[in-house]
């Protein structure tokens, strides 16, 4: 029984990371703190369920688990599919903006 009981914090985190907007904020915050994308993404995938994410990403469940291990070296395609599987997409912004978010403004298409 001891191993099957989750703490309130774990359950709350699972609920929060199931929402794509919250998952995006979590991953972005982790990366700004120096946490590797794979590590942050692993927490989001765990919260949403490996089986569900694997199905949405069209990647076999064992390959999803393998791709987010700290020692893995997944391809860009795999990472993109995993992000799509949790309801996210890659985004690119100027490096300087990443270091100084207070001054950064999103650029609209066509501007």
pLDDT at 16: 84
Residue position matching structure tokens 């700004």: 32
* Domain ranges for the chain: 8-98
Nearest to 78 by CA among 54, 95, 43, 50: 54
What integer best gives the mean pLDDT of the chain? 83
Cα distances (angstroms) measured from residue 42 to each of 56, 93, 105: 15, 23, 29
What pTM was estimated for this model as a whole?
0.74
User: Hey, CA dihedral for 101, 102, 104, 106, is it positive or negative?
Assistant: positive
Cα distances (angstroms) measured from residue 50 to each of 45, 81, 95, 108: 6, 13, 32, 34
pLDDT at 14: 77
User: Hey, CA dihedral for 63, 44, 46, 57, is it positive or negative?
Assistant: negative
How does pLDDT run across 31-62, given as a tens digit for each residue? Answer: 889 999 999 999 999 999 999 999 999 999 99
């Amino acid at each position: 029984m001891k191993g099957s009981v989750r703490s309130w914090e774990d359950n709350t985190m699972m609920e929060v990371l199931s929402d794509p907007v919250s998952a995006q904020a979590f991953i972005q915050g982790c990366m700004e703190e120096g946490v590797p994308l794979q590590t942050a993404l692993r927490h989001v995938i765990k919260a949403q369920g490996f089986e569900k994410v694997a199905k949405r990403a069209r990647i076999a469940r064992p390959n999803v688990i393998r791709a987010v291990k700290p020692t893995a070296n997944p391809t860009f395609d795999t990472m993109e599919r995993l992000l799509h599987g949790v309801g996210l997409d890659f985004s690119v912004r100027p490096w300087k903006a990443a270091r100084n978010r207070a001054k950064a403004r999103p650029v609209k298409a066509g501007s």
